[in-house]
Structure 1
Amino acid sequence: MGSVKEILSVSLILFSVIDIIGNVPIVINLRKKVGHIQSGKATIVAGAIMVLFLFVGETILNLFGIDIGSFAVAGALIMFLIGMEMVLGIELFKSDPDEVTNTASIVPIAFPLIAGPGTMTSLISLRAEFDLYTILIGIAINVVLIYLVLKSSNWLERKLGSAGFNILRKVFGIILLSISIKIFKTQFALG
């Protein structure tokens, strides 16, 4: 099992990629349209997707003949782009608005908002640098944080306001950019 520093690193990486704070406006908008969000179910489903992908993601890669190092670089590139979105306030990854707003199910929140492509790519990238138990603890910490944020999204909206959310999003974007560059450096040093 990894050190406390490694657990915090994994937790912070996942927290930045999942960007649950940045997704609060989407959650609030969905809650206004459908009346109620099942926070517990959304959190459990998202956590299950992350753990499942952590275990079978490498097997899927092997089917395509892709090594973890190459996938880590691809994941670092996606994390870099997500970080750029967060810092610059632009949208590189477009999502179908019907996916988020035309359903009352938990599916748009658990997937793709929480356990989306960026999160899955990050999990595989993390496998190249951290042990499995460290990543599982990082997922567990994030599942708790996700639940707390989903449960308190209305309260967060009132307390932080639009400016507060923008500042948090930019800070996590810079952290994500730094982490992606570190993964690039590590993989190119190994290769």
Structure 2
Amino acid sequence: MAIDFTFSMKVFSSLFAIMNPVANIPVFLSLTEGMAEGKKRAVAATTFIGVTIGCAISVTLGETILNVFGVSIDDFRLAGGLLVLLIALDMVHGSPSAQHTPQQREVGESGYDQDVAIFPLTTPLLVGPGTIATLVVFGHAAAANGEIGSLAIGLVVFLALLAVALFSAPYLGRFLSAKVTAIARRLMGMILAAIAVEMMAASLTTIFKGLVH
């Protein structure tokens, strides 16, 4: 089975843009402030495991779940592209995404300080609605075009990078100024906006072609 590294790179860049490990390192540090080093590593490990499970479920079972509710992949791709675009616009403007940022009311109800690894780090910060939508669309494309291996490579490489970012956050945080994270957020927002437009364009092309026929 031939590996399409272009598709792998697209998967990697999409996940990097939407999860943005660079911009989320200060978030990780703020949520684990005052914790012992061992506890910080435990939070990083739990977050990584949670993200890996969330990504695997989205890629493998996402379309099946859509079918249960009678939603076509093209309808979902259009809705997902719009959602990703909203997240990208927030990133470009330098403001936190409403879709990937927990509300204060949710924080208060969840026992926020007790286990930040699952909430809010794993979800919604990393595996939020935009991430899930993107992975479901890529999972469908990979299955339809025989590019499961290419998808796996892009996903595994990104998860490896995310693991490095999480476990190295206390060290990397010394070099990440507010200006660096702001620039990274805006740059990733532009890339994510382009990906979102492509998702919506592909969906609309299929939908309108079906209406014509």
Query: What is the TM-score normalised by the length of structure 2?
Result: 0.81
Answer yes or no: is 1:176 the counterpart of 2:177.
no
Residues 171, 92 of structure 1: alpha-carbon distance in 2 compared, 3 angstrom cutoff: closer
Q: In terms of Rg, which structure is larger? A: 2
SS of 1:160's equivalent in the other structure is coil
Segments of structure 2 that go 5 or more residues without pairing to the other structure are 208-213
Answer yes or no: is 1:8 the counterpart of 2:19.
no
Measure the CA separation in 1 of the matches of 2:116 and 2:182: 27
Segments of structure 1 that go 5 or more residues without pairing to the other structure are none
Code of the aligned partner of 2:135: L
How big is the shift at 1:142?
Answer: 1.6
How big is the shift at 1:96?
Answer: 2.8
What is residue 72 of structure 1 aligned with on the other side? 77
Cα offsets for 1:135-183 (capped at 9, x unmatched): 2222211211111111111222221211011111110000000111111
Measure the CA separation in 2 of the matches of 1:57 and 1:119: 12
SS of 2:71's equivalent in the other structure is coil
Residues 100, 110 of structure 1: alpha-carbon distance in 2 compared, 3 angstrom cutoff: farther
- Tell me if structure 1 keeps the 8 A contact 2:91–2:97: no
Of residues 102-111 and 136-145 in structure 1, the stretch that sits farther from structure 2 once superposed is 102-111
What is residue 125 of structure 2 aligned with on the other side? 113
Counterparts of residues 7-86 of structure 1 (less than 5 Å): 7-35=8-36, 36-37=39-40, 38=42, 39-86=44-91
What is residue 104 of structure 1 aligned with on the other side? 115
Measure the CA separation in 1 of the matches of 2:111 and 2:51: 15
Code of the aligned partner of 1:123: L
Of residues 31-40 and 163-172 in structure 1, the stretch that sits farther from structure 2 once superposed is 31-40
Measure the CA separation in 1 of the matches of 2:203 and 2:3: 20
How big is the shift at 1:118?
Answer: 1.5
What is residue 134 of structure 1 aligned with on the other side? 150
How big is the shift at 1:9?
Answer: 0.7
How big is the shift at 1:101?
Answer: 4.1
Question: Percent of aligned positions with the same letter in both sequences?
Answer: 24
Of residues 27-36 and 46-55 in structure 1, the stretch that sits farther from structure 2 once superposed is 27-36
How big is the shift at 1:106?
Answer: 2.1
How big is the shift at 1:53?
Answer: 2.0
SS of 2:95's equivalent in the other structure is coil
What is the root-mean-square deviation in Å for CA atoms of aligned residues? 1.9
How big is the shift at 1:105?
Answer: 4.9
- Tell me if structure 2 keeps the 8 A contact 1:47–1:139: no
SS of 1:129's equivalent in the other structure is helix
Code of the aligned partner of 2:79: A
Query: What is the TM-score normalised by the length of structure 1?
Result: 0.90
SS of 2:102's equivalent in the other structure is coil
Of residues 152-161 and 80-89 in structure 1, the stretch that sits farther from structure 2 once superposed is 152-161
- Number of residue equivalences: 191
Measure the CA separation in 2 of the matches of 1:123 and 1:56: 10
Measure the CA separation in 1 of the matches of 2:206 and 2:140: 11
